[in-house]
């Protein structure tokens, strides 16, 4: 542990918070352009968050303490999880604690809290959103864990930094299992972030909304925290996928400032590319019926199972 590893950790923690609204805004702008609209500036999410932070809080009469602490817990756990994913360097002070299973658990806590908060007020929309969120979670979490297990079988570890070291050392090569895991994780990421085939982040249409239904009752700084948590979560998944599957450019421990600079630039490029891909994907695909979620996420689970199976083939020969 050095001064630098603390410094980089602080920098990374700040980046994943401060750049997250920009990524969300960037995705929205590209989506707007792709459908021929002018669209808001990519900086709009910052303005929205600032506006929400300045607004007064309105609480429902029957809101319990749970409703009030939920936004802080959700935001805290999501931010903490995001701080654990190495983005531009693996020389971070928290890296020994970073573990993919811990990450899944942190996100699970955040999801649990948001569902409870959705139920707390007792409106029908909150309950509807919470039940759908649980449906998605019950399918997405096993798929995510199965992907993690495949990675662990392949690289011998569940710590992202060690996976990066292993991949960069050429220990994996062009593995089918990695490809299948990537597809599976992409499907999970789309579902977990409430992006289009599963949930539409831009709608308040009662038939389709999931995330929005749970947070309908929130106002002011509570809403700002929940929105920010959603943005950080998108950033987290983008960072996770880019650090495991395209780790090239990331600065490993022992490299100087030059390495950090390369790491930062390549991280920016990776995030930009993945965000653009997400926007294109969301534009070309249609929203799915709720009853088809099981097929979509079941597909993700089966892909990760298949990845494990194929792994045994290549190990046996």
Which of 3, 174 has the CB closer to another protein?
A: 174
Among 97, 176, 261, 285, indicate the residue that binds another protein (CB under 8 A).
176
CB of 25 to another protein, least distance (A): 33
* Whole-number Å distance between alpha carbons of 139 and 294: 7
Determine, following the binding rule CB under 8 A, whether residue 314 of this chain makes contact with another protein: yes
Determine, following the binding rule CB under 8 A, whether residue 40 of this chain makes contact with another protein: no
CB of 151 to another protein, least distance (A): 17
Among 3, 35, 286, 316, indicate the residue that binds another protein (CB under 8 A).
316
Determine, following the binding rule CB under 8 A, whether residue 312 of this chain makes contact with another protein: yes
Residues 182-241 that bind another protein (CB under 8 A): 183
Determine, following the binding rule CB under 8 A, whether residue 317 of this chain makes contact with another protein: yes
Stretch that binds another protein, among 43-51, 58-66, 76-84, 290-298 (CB under 8 A): 290-298
Which of 77, 293 has the CB closer to another protein?
A: 293
Determine, following the binding rule CB under 8 A, whether residue 286 of this chain makes contact with another protein: no
Residues 155-174 that bind another protein (CB under 8 A): 173-174
CB of 317 to another protein, least distance (A): 4
Backbone angles phi, psi at 150, to 5 degrees: -60, -45
CB of 312 to another protein, least distance (A): 7
Count of residues of this chain found to bind another protein when the rule CB under 8 A is applied = 22
């Amino acid at each position: 542990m050095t001064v630098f590893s603390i410094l980089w950790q602080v920098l990374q923690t700040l980046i994943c918070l401060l750049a997250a609204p920009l990524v969300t805004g960037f995705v929205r702008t590209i989506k707007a352009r792709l459908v021929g609209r002018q669209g808001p500036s990519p900086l709009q999410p910052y303005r929205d968050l600032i506006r929400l932070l300045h607004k007064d809080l309105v609480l429902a009469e029957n809101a319990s303490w749970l409703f009030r602490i939920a936004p802080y817990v959700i935001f805290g756990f999501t931010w903490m999880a995001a701080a654990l994913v190495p983005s531009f360097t693996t020389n971070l002070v928290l890296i020994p604690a970073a573990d993919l299973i811990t990450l899944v658990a942190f996100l699970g806590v955040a999801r649990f809290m948001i569902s409870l908060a959705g139920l707390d007020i007792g409106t029908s929309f909150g309950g509807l959103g919470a039940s759908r969120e649980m449906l998605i979670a019950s399918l997405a979490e096993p798929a995510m864990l199965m992907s993690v297990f495949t990675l662990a079988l392949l690289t011998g570890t569940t710590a992202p930094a060690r996976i990066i070291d292993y991949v960069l050392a050429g220990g994996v090569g062009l593995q089918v299992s990695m490809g299948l895991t990537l597809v599976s994780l992409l499907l999970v990421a789309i579902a977990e972030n409430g992006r289009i085939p599963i949930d539409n982040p831009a709608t308040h249409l009662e038939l389709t909304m999931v995330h929005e239904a749970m947070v309908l009752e929130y106002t002011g700084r509570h809403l700002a925290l929940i929105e920010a948590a959603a943005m950080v979560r998108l950033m987290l998944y983008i960072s996770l996928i880019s650090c495991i599957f395209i780790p090239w450019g990331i600065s490993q421990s022992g490299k100087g400032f030059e390495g950090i600079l390369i790491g930062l630039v390549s991280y920016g490029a990776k995030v930009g590319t993945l965000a653009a891909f997400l926007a294109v994907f969301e534009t070309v695909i249609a929203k799915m019926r709720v009853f088809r979620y099981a097929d979509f996420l079941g597909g993700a689970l089966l892909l990760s199972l298949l990845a494990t199976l194929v792994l045994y083939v290549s190990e046996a020969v």
